[in-house]
Structure 1
């Protein structure tokens, strides 16, 4: 077996006797022996080259950076499947939502872990009408604000999906009279009551990411990401939701928001309600040729979906644009919600049998992952 010292000594002797055509650290290269693309790296930063040297295999040289050896480091990592980064993030954030209690087990010296969710999970939504959400139940629910400090107008909703990114609707990237969103507020259940502000985190918006295929005023591809100025301090009350990557149709779901209620007044308190999936044809009959929804050309496509209530006046309204439609992550993760849709369009607030339209998140997984978890 060779040592690094032996290799470097030999390389120096060869270099002194020949002209070396150098490539610099960070430049692309092609590894001839392995037949793969690579990147020129300082030897100490290329584990594959160090392993080769120890096995008596000389790495392919790019040249020198001063007196430091630069080698062609092969790129052998396989890209992760689409959706894998979302799943990894979900697992990472799962434990933020519940507390653990440890009790001694009678047999052996091991401990038994009990997971306690501070709110009651609902595998199948059974809420009738708008009901107040429990603090921490929807730690991903965001208020999107416009205007200057001290005079923000909360005109859209959103979903926290990492410590620095909020998922919302593309049409929320501009509000008439206010411009672009400037701030995001999380951890709140009643934004007019300062007594619960100890749980609240409010962070400035750093950058806007509009889906490249969105074109206002149409609602196709109505999805966007807000990058925050700094990472949030994640806890039981401010916690990212899981991004839903499956393609199955969800028949019953939960909507949340502070938007207009059936009485056409704005709710100060975060509300939740159960809704049901509507057949695409029913949705098209409702919205086709409606100038406000701009679905006249193609109707509802495979990237959109409709939910509402046939027998009661539950739907999301204009104040909830960009907010989530979600399900409890039954059997996958504990005390966690999957966000599978973004509130995009609607016709009227609080009318029985009138659904609202949502953008399907699973149609945009790669776009989301490339920005949030590059």
Structure 2
């Protein structure tokens, strides 16, 4: 489907290139200065190891962190992903986590949260409006998806550009989770952005795993049309990711872009070989488009 999300995906892919003016000697006629394009794509081919490896600068330029409280004491407790100049996608359970007050800040373009000398360009923006999916309720684990509108547009560049959204035309066997390890089920988190490759797990096998939780929180079990599961036999679960952060796959087209297929929703314990459960992004495209690109 040639949706708005798909069109924007191609538009944002142009920010893979950095444009600069050529040295003045080349410009005989000033009217005709053509900007020179530099390819700033970063893709690493090496297989991802157990427990996650450090992400490279500019490899995941859509990564966001969600902050609570007031400066200078902001707590960064959830992840998210930049999907346009103005909006971050996250999980609805991140909008008002236990006794933390609402999501107020987003930190974008960061790589290592402990230093400013990393190859990154960090932007901190205030969240002006929060949209939880109307089907979300805090007791059940369904429709765990939220959009955060920033106070102002962020300036896109090769350090900071939106991720594409999966519109439902993919069937991947594996995907990459990224994050600083902000999870409310423990884990101190990591200063450096990590990436980990996970296998997509079938809904039926995921339901077997979560059978004991099926009750108040999952009255209909894991519903495949709106959720998906991913994990690894070796215990690489989403503890390496962030609650609210993206599960993504590399696209061949447009160039150097990822498509977000899932939002980290919940899991059991870190390092267990139990799959994490993700909100299936493709199911929510029309809801997202109405708010982000009306």
TM-score in terms of structure 1 length: 0.69
Q: Does 1:368 align with 2:288?
A: yes
Question: Of 187, 190, 193, which aligns to 2:112?
Answer: 190
Q: Does 1:88 align with 2:7?
A: yes
CA deviations 1:249-279 (Å, max 9, x no partner) are: 2111100000169x94421110001000111
Indicate the SS of the match to 1:237. Answer: coil
- Give the structure 2 partner of residue 13 of structure 1: none
Which structure has more relative contact order (CA 8 Å, sep 6+)? It is 2
CA deviations 1:159-216 (Å, max 9, x no partner) are: 1000000000011101222110000000101112132496100000000001001111
- Give the structure 1 partner of residue 189 of structure 2: 266
CA deviations 1:24-44 (Å, max 9, x no partner) are: xxxxxxxxxxxxxxxxxxxxx
In the TM superposition, residue 319 of structure 1 has moved relative to its aligned partner by: 7.0
C-alpha contact 1:289 1:295 (8 A) present in aligned 2: no
CA deviations 1:94-129 (Å, max 9, x no partner) are: 021234799xxxxxxxx9x9873441255xx83112
Q: Does 1:249 align with 2:171?
A: yes
- Give the structure 2 partner of residue 146 of structure 1: 68
* 1:1-374 superposed matches below 5 A: 84-99=3-18, 116-120=39-43, 122=45, 126-129=47-50, 130-196=52-118, 199-259=121-181, 264-290=187-213, 294-310=217-233, 312-317=234-239, 320-330=242-252, 332-351=253-272, 353-374=273-294
Q: How many residues align?
A: 279
CA distance, structure 1, for counterparts of residue 2 and residue 284 of structure 2: 10
Moved more, 145-154 or 195-204: 195-204
In the TM superposition, residue 282 of structure 1 has moved relative to its aligned partner by: 1.6
CA distance, structure 2, for counterparts of residue 100 and residue 276 of structure 1: 37
Runs of 4+ in 1 over 4 A off after TM superposition: 99-102
TM-score in terms of structure 2 length: 0.87
RMSD over equivalenced CA pairs, Å? 2.7
Indicate the SS of the match to 1:195. Answer: coil
Moved more, 92-101 or 358-367: 92-101
CA deviations 1:282-341 (Å, max 9, x no partner) are: 21121223279922443334110000112x2211129711100001111x1111111111
C-alpha contact 2:18 2:157 (8 A) present in aligned 1: no
